[in-house]
Structure formats: structure tokens, C-alpha cells
Amino acid sequence: MDNHEEIEQRLSRDKLLRLAVAAGGATILGARLDAAQAALAGLGAESGRLQVLDWAGYGNDGGQAMFAAYVKAHPKNKPQFSYMANESDALAKIHAGAKPDVFRPYVGWVKYFATSGLVQPWNPNLIPNFKHLNPFMVKAGQYKGKQYGIPNDWGFDAILYRSDKVTPKARSWGLLFDDRYKGKIAWFDDLEMLTIAGLYLGFDKPWRQTDAQLKKSQELLMKKKKLVRLIWSSETNLWEAFGSGDLWIAYAWPNDWVQMKKKKLKVVYMRPKEKPIAWVGMFMLLKGTPRSRLAHAYVNTWSSARSGKWLEDNYGYGHANTLARPASSDLLKALRLTDPRAVTEPSAHLDRDIPRRALYARMWEEVKASG
């Protein structure tokens, strides 16, 4: 049930204007109807706890600092969390009837969700911190000019390796396929490995590979799978295995390098010549949510420099707010935080929509099942 439509019917035009003036601000007077509606919705119609569908670690299980200011300002609408194991899981849950007000897929899914009919665009006017967000990441959250995703955490996919055990032949993704290090390599559990194979094999459009190209990528992965000790999906798993010496080479995020350095290991975070891939988390707003204004407030808190700094200091991910700076200089370096273009060409390939994602997924499952 779309609350905006309800409100529109209930209030007359001049009431709208009067309340709009009362709400204060030139931004509301003369603004588009939905902005006014959102403001009005906040004047009494929105209630209940904000339903947030997020990854583990971002709710009350450790991420409280990210939204503490929101909780303080809206004690009656505290967030209620359910967990998404990944975007596929979120998609399934929503299709099966779950109604989160906000959820958080990553940048490669923006177009998919934007065209799915499940989400609605945000109104950046209601997010004061929006202006501090990295413009390249903001652009990545847009589709057809509308802001479907509000960027928050981000990082790179690159290669972590033990410099005291490993001598790479080249600064390349090929290190993940190096025959010399059998049993010491870790891949990531995602169809992205096909994209990486495509990058390594030199295809010009790794996210849009042809059938022949995909077959080659898959064959490479299947052939090299016997070198792989672990296909990780949780960082803890990676840290335990890498930290104990089970692994010498791994697909990894910047914070993984920072953590292994903290364990006094000799590690290098290698940016391959084919370029690392950059990922960005995107808050999305469910279509027809009765708590749109609260959702905007929540996302605004998440977008603050203070939350950003906490995220960087505690989870080792970058944050889209350009004012957020971590305490660790290692992390600063690994994330190239001083360069606003860090996530995009020519520094990195920003992860993007895969038109044939279903096919990639199937082929990756086959890689995992093989051998």
C-alpha cells in the first residue's frame, strides 16, 4: 500500500502548502510533490520500527555505532534487522513476502533492482550528508538519472600474498592460478571469479563475456581449482586460514591486508596490472514502504562522516563520505582514500551490472562442483 498515494488523497492543496511553509525551508516550497509528501509523512503518518535487511555485522550484532544517531533521534522507530546472506538471498526473501524498508545490495546489482519494480528512487534532498558522498560512487548508484542507490561501504578486490613465501611471476591476477603454489591459494565464493578469469585472459568486456569467452574462463577455473585450498565467503574464515599459514595467496579486500599485517606477517597487497575490481554497497529503498522518511533519516546517519570513520576504523572498509578518514595509515594507503577516483577507471574497474548474471552464476556453480 503506497502511503504517498493515501496522503495525496487525504490532504487538499492549500493544506499542503501551509504545512510545507510550516515545515520550513525553500527546499520544500516549490519542490516536487514527493518531497513534500515525504516531509508530511514524517509529521505523523510513519510509525513502527524501521525494517532493515542487511548483511551480518551491520545490525545490532556489532554495527550499532553506524546508526546510533538515528536511534537517538527516533527512539520509537528503532531499526529491526533481518539478515541477507547476499543479494540473491535478499531477492528471494523479498519475492517470498518480506517487506524491508531498506536493504543493501552492492553496486553490480543497482541496475537489476532498479529495473525490477521492487525499489523506488531516493530523494537526495532529504539526506543532508548526501553532498559529502564521493561523486563517482554516487553516479554508480544512479539509473536513468534517478538515485536508486546511496553508496556507503566500499573496497577493492585484489590479491594478498606472503612476500616471504611467494614470488609472483608478474603483477597479475594470474597469481591466483599459479601452479607453483598448489594448496596455498584461496579464491572468493562468487561468480566474480569468472570476471577475474576474463580480466586475466584479456577479454575486453569481462562482465559481458560471449559464450565462447565464458567457456574459456570456466575452463581455466576448473583446471586450476585443484590448486585452491579454500573458496572463502566470510572474512573470519580467510583470516584464520591465512593467519595460521594455511594460505599464502588469496583474493582479498584491503582490510584483509591490514589485519594480516597486524599479525606481523610479511604480506603484500597487490593491485594487478589488469586492475583491481572496486565494489560499493548501496542502500536501496523498497517500493511502497510506509516509512520512507525514516528510511531517509537512517541512511543519512549511515552517510555521516562520523559513521564513516567508525566503519573504516572497525571494519576496514572504505566509506563513501569523502570526509571520513581512518586512524590507520595502512588502511588509508590500501584504500587510496586520498584519491576520489580510486574506485573507477583508470585505477580500478568498478563492479557493474552483468546482463547474463544467471548464466555466470550457473557456470560458477559448475566450477565449484567440479573436481
* Per-residue x/- track, 126-165, another protein (CB under 8 A): ----------------------------------------
Q: Is 86 near another protein (CB under 8 A)?
A: yes
361 binds another protein (CB under 8 A): yes
Q: Mark the segment that binds another protein (CB under 8 A) among 20-28, 202-210, 239-247, 286-294.
A: 239-247
Among 177, 207, 239, 310, binds another protein (CB under 8 A): 239
Q: At what angle do helices 211-224 and 357-369 cross, to 10 degrees?
A: 20
Q: Which is closer to another protein, CB of 130 or CB of 279?
A: 279
Q: Which strand (E) or helix (H) includes residue 187?
A: strand 185-188
Q: Give me Rg for the CA atoms of the chain.
A: 22
Distance of CA 210 to the CA centre of its chain: 26
Binding to another protein, residues 96-125 (CB under 8 A): 96-98
Which residues in the 174-203 window bind another protein by CB under 8 A?
Answer: 183, 187, 189-191
Per CB under 8 A, 370 contacts another protein: yes
User: In the 8-state DSSP scheme, what is residue 57?
Assistant: T
Closest distance of CB 342 from another protein, Å? 26
Nearest to 305 by CA among 135, 155, 130: 130
Integer CA distances (angstroms), 73 to 67, 69, 191, 249, 281, in order: 10, 6, 40, 46, 24
Nearest to residue 103, comparing CAs of 241, 92, 230? Answer: 92
Question: Does 6 engage in binding with another protein (CB under 8 A)?
Answer: no
| Helix-strand-coil split of the chain, %, nearest 5 | 45, 20, 35
CB neighbour class for 165 (10 Å; exposed up to 12, middle 13-18, buried from 19): middle
Stretch that binds another protein, among 1-9, 141-149, 172-180, 240-248 (CB under 8 A): 240-248
Beta carbon nearer to another protein, 55 or 200: 55
CA distance 124 to 149: 10
Q: Does 229 bind another protein (CB under 8 A)?
A: yes
Residues that bind another protein (CB under 8 A): 51, 56-57, 60-62, 80-83, 85-86, 88-89, 91-92, 95-98, 183, 187, 189-191, 225, 228-231, 233-237, 239-241, 243-246, 357-358, 360-362, 364-366, 368-371
